[in-house]
A and B are shown apart, each in its own frame.
Chain A
Amino acid sequence: GENVEQHPSTLSVQEGDSAVIKCTYSDSASNYFPWYKQELGKGPQLIIDIRSNVGEKKDQRIAVTLNKTAKHFSLHITETQPEDSAVYFCAATGGGGGADGLTFGKGTHLIIQP
């Protein structure tokens, strides 16, 4: 089955700086890679996703890149703000013709220092 590794587990950055979270996946059949933000006491919130036929996708301050050959994908947050503080999860899926659920990384606790 799919295995997703996520690094770092904790990331502390100054407000206004950029943050980068990296993930690797094992199953070459995976073709969909979403990122979720989870705040305390809430469910994961989809913030951006990328499919295997695209190398990069951007949405305002958030961008995701995918390297299919190396099986790496990364989340980039620029001009970080206090409300960006949360736990971020990467995920992968694509097996079973899309029926399989998401395989998640262990999460990154992002701390924005004022």
Chain B
Amino acid sequence: DSGVTQTPKHLITATGQRVTLRCSPRSGDLSVYWYQQSLDQGLQFLIHYYNGEERAKGNILERFSAQQFPDLHSELNLSSLELGDSALYFCASSVVPSGGSYEQYFGPGTRLTVT
């Protein structure tokens, strides 16, 4: 158990809908990273939040957004869902005090199915 929690475990929804995925980082970790894992694209970095502020963006679509709250949990919002958004979504947390690269610990993931 990495100490990172994600809810829900599974999510089934229809095209055009909007969903919110939730992540709680390990105790003491200030950074949350979101990743998407699909068969064709592999594991891809989406976005990084540190202590409530956006730090870096990866291959995140404009239909997707994220935020990190004062209690450090993070939410990933996916809107206008398409069939191709079906994937596993992971969050990872890291200490990252002020810079430099540190260990990232992954949660169990949310499996999103868009029908």
Chain B interface residue count: which class?
20 to 34
Is B96 interfacial (CB-CB < 8 Å)?
yes
What's the Cα separation between A104 and B42 when bound, in Å? 8
Contacts of B45 in A (CB 8 A): 100-103
User: Quick check: A34 and B48 within 8 Å, CB to CB?
Assistant: no
Q: Are B42 and A98 closer than 8 Å at their CB atoms?
A: no
Number of A-B contacts (CB under 8 A): 69
User: Is the Cβ of B103 less than 8 Å from the Cβ of A94?
Assistant: no
Q: Is the CB of B99 within 8 A of A43?
A: no
Residue from the list A36, A45, A97, A106 in contact with B42, Cβ < 8 A: A106
In the docked arrangement, what's the CA distance between A104 and B102, Å? 15
Please tell me the number of chain A residues within 8 Å of chain B, measured between CB atoms. Answer: 26
Check A44 for interface membership: any CB of B closer than 8 A.
yes
Mask of B28-59 contacts with A, CB within 8 angstroms, 1/0: 00000101000000111111101000011010
* Inter-chain contacts of A99 with B (CB < 8 A): 48, 50, 55-56, 96, 99
Residues of A bordering B, CB below 8 Å: 31-32, 34, 36, 42-46, 49, 51, 89, 93-94, 96-107
